[in-house]
Structure 1
Amino acid sequence: MFTILPIKGYLDKIDGFFCDGISAGLKPNGKLDLGFIYSDTLCETEAIFTLNKFQAAPLKHYQRYEKGFKTNFVLINSKNANALTGEKGIEDINTIFSSLNFDLTNPLMSSTGVIGNPLPVEKIVAGANSFDLSSKNGENLSQAIMTTDAYSKTSLYEVKLEDGSSFKIGSVAKGAGMINPNLATMLCFICTDAAVPKEDMRELLEQNSHTTFNAISVDGDTSTNDTVLLLANKKSNAYDKEAFKEALRLVMHDMAMLIVADGEGAKKAVAFEVINAADDKEAEIAAKALSNSLLVKTALFGEDPNFGRIASTIGASRVTCDETKLVISYNDVVVFNKGEIYFDAAQEEKAAKVLKNDKYKVICDLGAGEGKFTAYGCDLGYKYVEINADYRT
């Protein structure tokens, strides 16, 4: 038995972890743009990355370390993705780390921002050399890694085990646009003092990513820099696999839900729950088709319960389906039931009322089997176009 309790604060409340964020001059107007995570003991590390073929330089740099390496430092910059920068992008990372005045072991770098520009190495070195590695300022870190995010994204839990021992796990993430994951999405840094074995870290990251980060979509685009990084310094000496798996799932779910709710300009966070599909894979295909559909997203933005767009998208996904078995509901309001249209004026009013909420479910019962999957998406409105039209400026 174990108990998992959400606690207030940032990942710097976890024993042995330190963090902060500063302004290094990458963003205008003195905004925070450079941050770090430091552990006073070496951490086991695991990561899952984007499947975009053009992986950014920080991801390639990570993958050049020997298998099983440990680290004590992560440097994170915003405004510049260091992507499509070739070998020079990796050399720039090495130049930065060799210029720092700290005793670091296998340091890691993570970047987010505009693709196709070289790193401002001198600014980053100057900024990083001003770090105080004894700082505990998770709020600054969360601000420093943001790009188009409307708010910071953090999560923290304490896990109490049956033998009286306990461990903490927390995270900080950024992400609002270019969200359509393949293994991971956005940047997410998860820290724990649990004594999790190295072999469990990869397994549990991949298992939990399927129903969290891999289940969300803002705009159908997959970034070059997507990273989920797990660091474990093991200082608590406490561990239980099932407890850690559930705590990790909660942290990843928290981050995924905050990201999809912060879809650039989004006002609605919607769960697309597909049930009774032919199998789980077909349920996933249909659910993700709904979370990615621009026509569905714009209907959500207009608060229009246009179930025709829902049905059309499911049919276009080519899963096993039959309109005489299909049931579509907005929360508990049924609008289409096995070939019958439940959409008179009264029912449409009830459905429209559901769509005025910030969060709700679109439930699609395919009546074809026992498969199920829930994908998460958001609406798409004018603000998304405005943000991305002006992104580089």
Structure 2
Amino acid sequence: MFSIFPIKGFIDQIDGFYCDGVSAGLKPNNKKDIGFIYSDTLCDVGAVLTNNKFQAAPLRHYQRYENDFKTNFVLINSKNANALTGEKGIEDINTIFSSLKFDITNPIMSSTGVIGNRLPIQKIVDGANTFDLSSKNGENLSQAIMTTDAYPKACLYEVKLEDGSSFKIGAVAKGAGMINPNLATMLCFICTDAKVSKKDIEEALNENKETTFNAISVDGDTSTNDTVLVLANGKSNAYDKEAFKEALKLVMHDMAMLMVADGEGAKKAVAFEVINAATKEDAITAAKALSNSLLVKTALFGEDPNFGRIASTIGASRIECDENSLVIAYNDVVVFNKGEIVFDAKCEEDAGKVLQNKEFKIVCDIGLGTESFIAYGCDLGYEYVKINADYRS
């Protein structure tokens, strides 16, 4: 038995972890743009990375370490993704790390921002050399890694085990645009003092990613830099496999939901729940198609319960389906029932009220089996176009 409790605060409350963020001149107006995570004990590391074929230099640099390497330092920069920079992008990372004034072991770099530009090496080196590795300022770090995010994203939990021991686990993340269900676009850094092995970290990551980061969409685009990184320094000497897996799932779900809610210009976070599909693959395919559909997203933005767009998207996904077994509902308001249109004036009014909420679900009962899946998405409006039209400015 174990218990998991949420805690207010950032990853700096976890034993042995330190972090901060400063301005290195990458962003205008002296905004924070680089940050670090440091552990006073070497950490076991686990990660899942983007499936984009053009992986950015930081991801390729990470993958050149031996499989069982340990680290005590992560450097994160915003404003520049260091992607499409080839071997020179990796060399730039090595140059930065070799120019830092403090001792670090197998350092990891993570970047986010505009694709197609070399890193401003000297700015990053000068900024990073002002780091105080004894700082505990998770708020500064969360601000430093933001790009188009409207707000910082963080969570923290304490896990108490049956033998009286306990460990903490938390995360800091960024992500608001280029979010697609294929390891959604983000940088997410998860820290824990649990005494967990790399093998168990990766097992838990891979098990939990499908219902969290791989189940969300803002705009259907997958970035070159997507990274979910877990650092475990073992300082609590506490561990339970099931407790860790459950706590990690909570952390990953929290971060994924914050990203959807913060979809660039988004006003609504929506769960697309597909139930009674013929196969698990069908349920996943249909739910993700709905979370990705631009027509569905714009209807949500307009608070229009246009169930025809829902049905059309399911059909276009090519899963096994039949309109005579399909039921569509906004929360508990049924708008289409097994071939029968029940969308009268009262039904439309009730469904429209559901869409006025900031959070709700659209339930699609396929009626041909027992499999289900939930994907998460948001609306898409004018602000998204404005943000991305001006992204490089």
The alignment's TM-score, normalised by the length of structure 2, stands at 0.99
Write the letter of the residue equivalent to 1:221.
Answer: D
- Aligned partner of residue 377 in structure 1, secondary structure: strand
Match of 2:205 in 1: 205
- Aligned partner of residue 114 in structure 2, secondary structure: coil
1:11-90 correspondence to structure 2 within 5 Å: 11-90=11-90
Match of 1:143 in 2: 143
Match of 2:215 in 1: 215
1:129-278 correspondence to structure 2 within 5 Å: 129-278=129-278
1:363 equivalent to 2:371? Answer no
Which range is displaced more, 234-243 or 178-187? 178-187
Write the letter of the residue equivalent to 1:282.
Answer: D
Contact preservation (8 Å) 1:183, 1:214: yes
Match of 1:3 in 2: 3
Write the letter of the residue equivalent to 1:348.
Answer: E
Cα deviations by residue, 1:115-139 (Å, 9 ceiling, x for unpaired): 0000000000000000000000000
* Deviation of 1:184 (Å): 5.0
Contact preservation (8 Å) 2:79, 2:113: yes
Q: Structure 2: how far apart are the matches of 1:50 and 1:229?
A: 12
Contact preservation (8 Å) 1:89, 1:118: yes
* Deviation of 1:185 (Å): 3.1
1:293-372 correspondence to structure 2 within 5 Å: 293-372=293-372
Write the letter of the residue equivalent to 1:76.
Answer: I
* Deviation of 1:216 (Å): 0.2
Cα deviations by residue, 1:67-123 (Å, 9 ceiling, x for unpaired): 100000000000000000011100000000000011100000000000000000000
Q: Structure 2: how far apart are the matches of 1:72 and 1:258?
A: 27
Q: Structure 1: how far apart are the matches of 2:249 and 2:381?
A: 30
Cα deviations by residue, 1:317-347 (Å, 9 ceiling, x for unpaired): 0101111100000000000000111111011
Q: Structure 1: how far apart are the matches of 2:44 and 2:183?
A: 20
- Aligned partner of residue 309 in structure 2, secondary structure: helix
* Deviation of 1:179 (Å): 0.5
* Deviation of 1:281 (Å): 1.0
Write the letter of the residue equivalent to 1:269.
Answer: A
Q: Structure 2: how far apart are the matches of 1:184 and 1:264?
A: 14
Contact preservation (8 Å) 2:177, 2:185: no
Write the letter of the residue equivalent to 1:217.
Answer: S
Match of 1:96 in 2: 96
Write the letter of the residue equivalent to 1:286.
Answer: A
Cα deviations by residue, 1:166-201 (Å, 9 ceiling, x for unpaired): 000000000000011424531000000001122111
The alignment's TM-score, normalised by the length of structure 1, stands at 0.99
- Aligned partner of residue 61 in structure 1, secondary structure: helix
Q: Structure 2: how far apart are the matches of 1:77 and 1:245?
A: 29
- Aligned partner of residue 31 in structure 1, secondary structure: coil
Write the letter of the residue equivalent to 2:273.
Answer: E
- Aligned partner of residue 122 in structure 1, secondary structure: helix
Cα deviations by residue, 1:355-393 (Å, 9 ceiling, x for unpaired): 000000000000010110000000000000000000000
Write the letter of the residue equivalent to 2:229.
Answer: L
- Aligned partner of residue 252 in structure 1, secondary structure: helix
Cα deviations by residue, 1:17-66 (Å, 9 ceiling, x for unpaired): 00000000000000000000000000000111000000000000000111
Write the letter of the residue equivalent to 1:30.
Answer: N
> How many corresponding residue pairs?
393
Contact preservation (8 Å) 2:184, 2:222: no
Q: Which runs of 4+ in 1 moved over 3 A?
A: none
Q: Structure 2: how far apart are the matches of 1:37 and 1:198?
A: 18
Q: Structure 1: how far apart are the matches of 2:292 and 2:174?
A: 20
Any stretches of 5+ residues in structure 1 without a counterpart? Answer: none
Identity of aligned residues (%): 81
Q: Structure 2: how far apart are the matches of 1:337 and 1:376?
A: 23
Write the letter of the residue equivalent to 2:191.
Answer: C
- Aligned partner of residue 60 in structure 2, secondary structure: helix
Write the letter of the residue equivalent to 1:338.
Answer: K
Q: Structure 1: how far apart are the matches of 2:347 and 2:370?
A: 28
When the two chains are superposed, the root-mean-square deviation of aligned CA atoms in Å is 0.6
- Aligned partner of residue 210 in structure 1, secondary structure: helix
Q: Structure 2: how far apart are the matches of 1:237 and 1:185?
A: 33
Cα deviations by residue, 1:205-256 (Å, 9 ceiling, x for unpaired): 0110000000000000000000000000000000011110010000000000
Match of 1:378 in 2: 378
Match of 2:117 in 1: 117
Contact preservation (8 Å) 1:34, 1:145: yes
Q: Structure 2: how far apart are the matches of 1:171 and 1:265?
A: 23
Q: Structure 1: how far apart are the matches of 2:76 and 2:248?
A: 22
